[in-house]
Structure 1
């Protein structure tokens, strides 16, 4: 493939590329466009496009890059030729003659820089008010979460933090959803619970919802992203039963099937509990409103 053809693809504005795929930004801040992640399910926009640098970053997955790596997320392939084929089809460009397997001058993904990250106890604050609005009590939140103070480009922020096994944090506030890397799963060993059962949750809001509802019957593993299902398996092999409280969407169903293929009948789908809801937290919020007569 000639370099000019690669350059032509690289010069396609990411916003135009996403528009062709049916995705529009939900807000703009300076040179940054924020989207609901276009290739996975989420509620809070955590997918950013820098229009000046023409780079994207997904705070939910902790991944980013240029138009080629973005195409790779859509086709779920790291094969450069598959990415080129997808871009050509989306942009209505002719498929170029493939002579070189991969260029050597791909732009390095742009990583967000979290400055001065500090973890502190989660005391009552607007953060716990936010969790309360989602049905999660202060008693539960303070047991498993912390407050993370951090800086980005010289400005200070704070959020609810949920630590993972390699020292990173999932962070949430009313205005932001992201991850202080490294991205990984979280394993919570519950006291007085069955050592033979592990409950799996997609995100920590669902885990906190389960704890609020008293559903934690064994140890708990939070994926923090369905992309982490492979990382989760090294912790699951020893359990006789794996209870899955995954989102009732395509990504959740695919994750459930992946686990069933690996663990067979040990996997139990518990999502019927919140049938009619997208996830366990939505079910908790509805249950709380009914209890309060709202």
Structure 2
């Protein structure tokens, strides 16, 4: 099994396979004694929808591979994949679908998709709750309506280069397939000398809001933007990034974000610049915009 397949193994099933049963379970979560340390009060929570875990005792979190790092005391990904599969071989065919590497629901099963200009008050209110200026939201995003299991839904939509959409509302984070990166260029030019790189479109919208507020200074007249729509899409953006003289990386201020920046720096050299300096106390640009500091 590869990384994408391993990450789709259901965490609740995996915990059961390695000998841990929940002390409390609901439709959306399961609580355990942390499997890698002494934990008298159950403080290890699995989010069933996102297939991720959080340890309230240590403030650690992650996916199944992050859990395996702690269980098996190793950072060798190849070894961890073998250990996970070996510990729970019966789970190999039980791949969670439709869940992406980043924990998003891939919505190929959605029907009657209709894309219009962003106008619904509930969606505008949602963007405002995330600190996004409505002028920015209305300019950069669309409103999408769709049916799933014969029920109607709507969400904020952000297009990618393959014709798919990242979709968000207060209760849902997903993608109308196909999944791909997004590239934003000004229509009056072929491309700038500088590119700003973001993990998700909410980070991109937050960046535009922060520039508007003067909290980030950027010569945006000569800047293009690439949104990965999941750090797992970084390989798809390499060719597009090669043509720029400077790449400003506004990725999440966490281990995954720093690993991605280091990977790009090794591949593309000094043109790659991490831009964590403006938000050292925040997980990402949206938390910076909302002044939501990381818990230390």
* TM-score category of the 2 structures, normalised to the smaller one: 0.5 to 0.7
Task: Give 1:54's aligned residue.
Answer: none
CA contact (8 A) 1:26 1:35 kept: no
- Identify the residue that residue 88 of structure 1 maps to in structure 2: 86
Give the total of aligned pairs: 226
> Taking structure 1 as reference, are residues 159 and 286 closer, same or farther at Cα in structure 2, changes over 3 Å only?
same
Q: CA deviation at 1:110?
A: 4.0
Q: Match of 1:274, SS?
A: coil
Shift of 1:170: 0.4
Residues 119, 148 of structure 1: 8 Å contact kept:
yes
Q: Deviations over 1:68-102 (max 9, x none)?
A: xxxxxx9866xxx975542333x5x8xx9xxxxxx
Q: Take 1:110 and 1:250, find their aligned partners in 2: how far apart are those partners?
A: 26
The reply on whether 1:277 has 2:259 as its aligned counterpart is no
Counterpart CA distance in 2 for 1:120 and 1:18 is 43
2: CA distance between counterparts of 1:132 and 1:22? 41
Query: Counterpart of 1:254?
Result: 259
The residue that corresponds to 1:229 in the other structure is 234
Q: Does 1:201 align with 2:198?
A: yes
Q: Equivalent residues in 2 for 1:79-228 (5 A)? A: 83=81, 85-89=83-87, 91=88, 106=93, 110-111=97-98, 112=107, 113-190=109-186, 195-214=192-211, 215=216, 217=220, 218-228=223-233
Aligned CA-pair RMSD: 3.5
Q: Secondary structure at the match of 2:197?
A: strand
Distance (whole Å) between structure 1 residues aligned to residue 233 and residue 27 of structure 2 = 29
User: Compared with structure 1, are the counterparts of its residues 14 and 249 closer, same or farther at alpha carbon in structure 2 (3 Å cutoff)?
Assistant: closer
User: What TM-score comes out, normalization by structure 1 length?
Assistant: 0.67
Structure 2 distance, partners of 1:14, 1:120, is 37
Residues 29-68 of structure 1 aligned to structure 2 (within 5 Å)? 34-38=48-52
Tell me, what secondary structure is at the counterpart of 1:198?
strand
Unaligned runs of 5+ in 2: 1-8, 29-46, 55-62, 64-74, 99-106
Q: Which residue of structure 1 aligns with residue 67 of structure 2?
A: none
- Kept in 2, the 8 Å contact 1:242–1:268? The answer is yes
Q: Secondary structure at the match of 1:182?
A: coil
- Structure 1's 285 and 265: CA in aligned 2 closer, same or farther, altered over 3 A? same
TM-score by length of 2: 0.66
Conservation of the 8 A alpha-carbon contact between 1:75 and 1:86: no
